[in-house]
Amino acid sequence: MAMRVDILTLFPEMFEPIVATSIIGRAAAAGVVEVTVTDIRDFAANRHRNVDDAPFGGGPGMVMTCQPVFDAVEAVRAQVATPGPVVLLTPQGRRLDQEIVGELARRDRLILVAGHYEGFDERIRQGLADVEISLGDFVLSGGEIPAMALLDAVVRLLPGALGEPASTEEESFSMGLLEYPQYTRPRVFRGMAVPDVLLNGDHARIAAWKQQQALERTRRRRPELWQKYQSQNNHPPAGKLPGAGQKGESP
């Protein structure tokens, strides 16, 4: 059964090229995922289709009101019997990482709600949200771009979405580490050479090199990720294997 992803937004046109192209488009065509985009403005109860109002207590900007968001979510929920969590895309949510993506990819349905303006009326969080997710510690104009990022990350984990299922197994964050360096032809480009270890056909040694490079790259570039990996795996500090440090490598 295809995963169904409902996206509720004030700007449905932003999702048209994302849903129709690349991995998401191919997954949809293959019946792996069904993506439905709903305009929250269609549920506004006033003739001007207003979905925002000034905040009580004063303050800059406008806040998304309860009625159209509640009505939109409830209408979308009722379209199919398959339940699914309501995910609010908000800077106040849990920071998106591969662990969350994996959890959501195991669901049969997701309902993503993209906010705008100065955010949601707090009662939307209280009455609707099952999960709140943030793309990072920065502020965007709305939740549309985070919703796109989450959609892309989730869809590529679905069985049948990628041509090569193993593609997701060695990527950055799949095992709690950054990905090892990748090379392709030519063997030498502008004086930068592919490490010899990748050219000798010794698959065991290549696998060991890739693991060591992932460990070393994570330790150097993302110390907080490295510490988390160490604590979860009781792994010793990364050292050097034969072949590491050659010209063309960049852990």
Residue-wise pLDDT tens digits, 207-228: 999 999 999 999 999 999 999 9
Asked whether residue 162 carries a pLDDT value surpassing 70, the answer given is yes
Residue 64 · residue 9 · CB < 8 Å: no
Report the share of the chain in percent with pLDDT over 90.
79
At residue 28, the 3 state secondary structure works out as: helix
Query: How big is the CA angle at 108 (ends 39 and 113), to the nearest 5 degrees?
Result: 25
> Residue 237: its pLDDT value, please?
54
**What mean pLDDT is reported for the chain?**
90
> Residue 175: its pLDDT value, please?
78
Confidence of residue 239 (pLDDT cuts 50, 70, 90): very low
Question: What does the alpha-carbon distance between residue 120 and residue 118 come to, in Å, rounded to a whole number?
Answer: 7
Domains of the chain: 3-155 (3.40.1280.10), 170-233 (1.10.1270.20)
Residue 135 · residue 149 · CB < 8 Å: yes
Residue 236 · residue 168 · CB < 8 Å: no
- Global pTM value: 0.84
What string of DSSP letters covers 154-183?
Answer: HHTTSTTSSSSGGGGTSSTTTTSSPPPP--
Residues 6+ apart with CB under 8 A from 163: none
CA distance between the termini of the chain: 41
Highest-pLDDT range among 131-140, 164-173, 232-241: 131-140
> Residue 117: its pLDDT value, please?
82
